[in-house]
Amino acid sequence: MRIFVITGAGVSAESGIPTFRGEDGYWRNFDPAKLATPEAFACDPKLVWQWYRERRQRIREAQPNAAHQAITKLAQYADEFLLVTQNVDDLHARAGVPAEKMVQIHGDIFVTRCSRCHFQFREEGRGGTPEPSVHCTQSGRLWSIAPTSAQREERSIAPTSAQREEIPMCPKCDELMRPGVVWFGEQLDPDKIDIVERFLARGHCDYAIVIGTTATFGYIIDWALRANASGGELIEVNPDETPLSTFATQRIHEPATIALPRLIDQICNP
């Protein structure tokens, strides 16, 4: 059985992570142009980093929910499976979806990457630890993820709050580092698009399941419809209507943690 799943912020909502366009969604209270564009970062990198650090911390404190667990079960059950998530959190990974079966199409919030060169590193997102400090030398430079023993020694000195506020600088080219997410006006990673395209080109999907997304972006609608182009089921799990609703063969207007365990049981035990 071939199964294609798309998730959005709604799947993590019941883990306590705000959506973007929902009632208490980020974009109801904040202007994306001031936080999630290359221009915003150029204008006020400190503000942008502060927002992403707060989000990182919130995600660390969150736990995968029953919907994440159900999707993992589906990934194990299917002969071929691909999850495209728009979420930059790590809750699918922490619920056990293997990296090779998942594409984080909007990036990974725990990645910090140089805004000029290819240098990047990833901080572990997992549960409950405080936001790791930016590892600074006295001049405020960031160190690489694999520190030398001398660096390790210096790291054990607790950073001051001023250092925590530092904007990480690339140790290779001295440019500002930024969160490893896709901002408005930026291109998606072509390698990630390739993975999705190759999965869809390889054949018919028995199920395309779209969960907790407003399907705002054309490529999300396009992938969902193409996964369903040769028949099969297109199932939407969302308390609200979306542009995809009229194309769905089954609409489940319930929260993901209620709908998904039941739905996945039905698929895995026909």
Of 2 and 73, CB closest to ligand OAD: 73
For residue 120, the minimal CB distance to ligand OAD (Å) is 18
For residue 21, the minimal CB distance to ligand OAD (Å) is 4
Q: Using CA atoms of 58, 60, 66, 72 in order, give the dihedral in degrees to the nearest 10.
A: 130
Summarize as ranges the residues that interact with ligand OAD (CB under 6 A).
8-10, 13-14, 19-22, 25, 36, 86, 106, 182, 212-214, 216, 237-240, 242, 255-256
* Annotated catalytic residue 204: no
Of 142 and 264, CB closest to ligand OAD: 264
Distances, alpha carbon 82 to alpha carbons 11, 100, 163, 208, 263, in Å: 16, 8, 40, 10, 17
Of 204 and 219, CB closest to ligand OAD: 219
CA atoms within 13 A on the CB side of 242: 27
CA distance 170 to 110: 16
Catalytic residue among 68, 92, 106, 135: 106
Tokens standing for residue 226: 């193409």
For residue 232, the minimal CB distance to ligand OAD (Å) is 21
For residue 106, the minimal CB distance to ligand OAD (Å) is 4
Give the Cβ contact number of residue 132 at 10 Å. 15
Helical segments of the chain, H only? 10-13, 26-29, 32-35, 38-43, 45-61, 66-77, 91-95, 149-155, 161-164, 190-201, 218-227, 256-268
DSSP annotation string for 75-96: HHH-SEEEEEE---SSHHHHHT
For residue 17, the minimal CB distance to ligand OAD (Å) is 10
> Do the Cβ atoms of 252 and 70 come closer than 8 Å?
no
Tokens standing for residue 255: 């929260």
Of 84 and 169, CB closest to ligand OAD: 84
* Torsion over CA: 34, 108, 254, 248 (sign): positive
Of 228 and 238, CB closest to ligand OAD: 238
Catalytically active residues are 106
